[in-house]
């Protein structure tokens, strides 16, 4: 990520980034998102590539200035319907891997049950996988419910905590994510940051994306 990563990351977090620092951090992010795609391909056995349009440096600069974050979008096996995002949030010192997944048959309860069955295979069922429901007209129920909680609710025969009939009878799509809250030390260290970024990305592909595409 370059020798200026620590200073640039700190300055971006506080919003006091000068032109030299923002150019340094953009160059680092452009290189790392490409490297991350290669690492994911090697580690998971799936062909994973970065989705880009136009001038990527300008895209990243705009994101950093507006949101203090950078989102990299990837696709698996050249399938535009099989995509996921990796977001680096400098303000929160967070790495967030996420995807949107639709199940078109059944009502909300049945849709959620089917999603759980898909994710149960190979996910390890732990609290790191978070599921939210997005309803038609983009009405969202962001309960940040863990997959583990949903599995427990299913086994007890309870209504799922991400459901809300006031929003609709069917779920438009699910947002599935893994969030890594990094310590200041890990986020500010270029070496440790890269390790964390790649580990969270690999975990997401192996525990989430692989289950959804099988």
> Which SS3 state, helix, strand or coil, does residue 17 take?
coil
Tell me what pLDDT residue 182 has: 92
Q: Is 53 exposed, middle or buried (0-12, 13-18, 19+ CB in 10 A)?
A: exposed
Residues 103 and 113: their CA atoms lie apart, in Å, by 10
Q: Which residue positions in the chain have pLDDT lower than 50?
A: none
Tell me what pLDDT residue 205 has: 94
Tell me what pLDDT residue 108 has: 92
Tell me what pLDDT residue 127 has: 66
Tell me what pLDDT residue 142 has: 61
**Using one digit for the tens of pLDDT, what is the confidence trace for 26-43?**
989 999 999 999 999 999
Tell me what pLDDT residue 4 has: 81
Which residue, 36, 174, 8, is CA-closest to 101?
Answer: 174
- Give the single-character DSSP code of 126: -
Cβ(97)–Cβ(200) below 8 Å: yes
Tell me what pLDDT residue 18 has: 79
Torsion of CA 4, 7, 12, 18, to 10 degrees: -70
Tell me what pLDDT residue 203 has: 93
Tell me what pLDDT residue 141 has: 60
**Which uninterrupted H or E stretch holds 161?**
none
Residues contacting 136, CB < 8 A, separation 6+: 168, 170, 172
Token reading at 183: 């310590």
Where are the extended beta strands (E) located within the chain? 48-50, 69-76, 79-89, 94-101, 129-135, 139-146, 173-181
Residues 175 and 100: their CA atoms lie apart, in Å, by 5
């Amino acid at each position: 990520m370059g020798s200026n990563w620590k200073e640039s990351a700190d300055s971006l977090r506080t919003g006091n980034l000068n032109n030299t620092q923002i150019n340094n951090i953009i160059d680092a992010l452009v290189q790392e998102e490409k490297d991350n795609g290669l690492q994911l391909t090697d580690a998971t056995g799936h062909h994973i590539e970065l989705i880009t349009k136009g001038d990527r440096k300008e895209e990243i600069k705009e994101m950093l200035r507006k949101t203090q974050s950078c989102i990299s979008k990837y696709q698996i096996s050249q399938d535009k319907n099989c995509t996921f995002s990796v977001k680096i949030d400098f303000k929160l010192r967070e790495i967030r891997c996420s995807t949107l997944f639709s199940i078109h048959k059944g009502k909300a309860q049945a849709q959620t049950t089917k999603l759980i069955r898909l994710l149960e295979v190979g996910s390890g069922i732990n609290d790191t996988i978070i599921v939210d429901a997005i309803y038609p007209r983009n009405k969202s129920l962001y309960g940040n419910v863990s997959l583990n909680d949903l599995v427990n609710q299913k086994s007890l025969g309870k209504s799922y905590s991400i459901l809300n009939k006031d929003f609709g009878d069917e779920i438009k799509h699910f947002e599935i994510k893994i969030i890594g809250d990094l310590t200041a030390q890990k986020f500010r260290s270029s070496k440790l940051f890269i390790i964390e970024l790649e580990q969270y990305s690999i975990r997401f592909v192996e525990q989430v994306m692989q289950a959804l595409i099988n």
